[in-house]
């Protein structure tokens, strides 16, 4: 079966040979792929709303995988028992929503080995929560689908002190910025530069004191990002 580049990238980071969970499974395509490809021997799907829950159930049934994939209705990580899976995938939700799912079941969240997260905008609330918790961002990738870019954030929940991420790191990702000159990543960052340029143009027209402060901050972020994307930057 063929997945989108976004979901294929997510699948690559799921711990192989161990049970996984997909919270908000988007028709169960990823879960079926994980089982069919021999990546995960068992997958638990969690869906909050009745419609997506029934669609996931139906697709799993059609694929004949009821023995390997269990669909549960419930809120976020509450569908899982502690230590029940090794990897938890949460993909296609806003960064603030994903952060809320983790915080709502935080004691339980520590019992899983890895999270593979694919946030939608805004990204920064998720990375801010991860930094405040001291959870390690062990890897990040950018997947391209139909001219859209999707960051994938791979996290391990460790009981470590909080750490600091700068504004660019919160929004664009510390591991992504480390690869700022690489093809694929650079295209994503160029798109972000365009967003900064548009924001700067809008703030110039505003003229208020608050707008001037924001304008200075955006200029600083834009210059820093341009430095990182320059091949001579070190």
Is the domain of 78 the same as that of 193? no
CA 111/CA 87 separation, integer angstroms:
10
Predicted local confidence at residue 17, as pLDDT:
98
Is residue 234 included in any domain, yes or no? Answer: no
Is the domain of 137 the same as that of 197? no
DSSP of 141-195, one letter per residue? EEEEETTEEEEEEEEE----------HHHHHH-HHHHHTTTSTTHHHHHHHHHHH
Is the domain of 132 the same as that of 16? yes
Is the domain of 198 the same as that of 156? no
- What one-character DSSP code corresponds to residue 234? -
Is the domain of 201 the same as that of 116? no
Is the domain of 68 the same as that of 159? yes
Is the domain of 47 the same as that of 136? yes
Asked whether the whole model's pTM tops 0.85, one would answer yes
pLDDT averaged over every residue in the chain: 94
Is residue 122 included in any domain, yes or no? Answer: yes
Is residue 180 included in any domain, yes or no? Answer: no
Predicted local confidence at residue 146, as pLDDT:
85
Is residue 50 included in any domain, yes or no? Answer: yes
Tell me: the pLDDT tens digits for 7-25? 999 999 999 999 999 999 9
Is the domain of 158 the same as that of 194? no
Is the domain of 44 the same as that of 105? yes
Is residue 155 included in any domain, yes or no? Answer: yes
Domain enclosing residue 220, as ranges: 185-229
Is the domain of 153 the same as that of 195? no
Is the domain of 212 the same as that of 136? no
The number of domains in the chain is 2
pLDDT band at 232 (very low <50, low <70, confident <90, very high): low
Tell me: the pLDDT tens digits for 195-224? 999 999 988 888 788 888 889 999 999 999
Tell me: the pLDDT tens digits for 31-73? 999 999 999 999 999 999 999 999 999 999 999 999 999 999 9
Predicted local confidence at residue 131, as pLDDT:
98
pLDDT band at 234 (very low <50, low <70, confident <90, very high): very low
């Amino acid at each position: 079966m063929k997945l989108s580049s976004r979901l294929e990238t997510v699948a690559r980071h799921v711990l192989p040979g161990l049970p996984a969970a997909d919270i908000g499974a988007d028709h169960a395509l990823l879960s079926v792929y994980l089982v069919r490809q021999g990546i995960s021997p068992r997958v638990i799907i969690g869906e909050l709303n009745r419609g997506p829950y029934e669609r996931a159930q139906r697709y799993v049934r059609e694929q004949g995988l009821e023995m390997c994939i269990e669909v549960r209705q419930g809120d976020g990580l509450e569908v899982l028992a502690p230590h029940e899976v090794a990897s938890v995938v949460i993909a296609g939700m806003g960064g603030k929503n994903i952060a809320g799912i983790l915080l709502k079941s935080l004691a339980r969240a520590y019992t899983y080995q890895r999270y593979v997260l694919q946030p939608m905008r805004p990204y920064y609330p998720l990375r801010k929560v991860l930094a405040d918790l001291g959870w390690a961002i062990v890897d990040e990738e950018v997947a391209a689908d139909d001219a859209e870019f999707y960051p994938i954030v791979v996290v391990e929940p460790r009981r470590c002190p909080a750490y600091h991420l700068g504004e660019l790191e919160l929004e664009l990702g510390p591991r992504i910025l480390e690869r700022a000159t690489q093809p694929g990543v650079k295209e994503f960052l160029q798109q972000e530069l365009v967003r900064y340029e548009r924001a700067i143009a809008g703030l110039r027209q505003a003229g208020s004191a608050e707008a001037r402060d924001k304008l200075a901050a955006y200029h600083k972020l834009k210059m820093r990002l341009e430095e990182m994307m320059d091949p001579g930057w070190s």
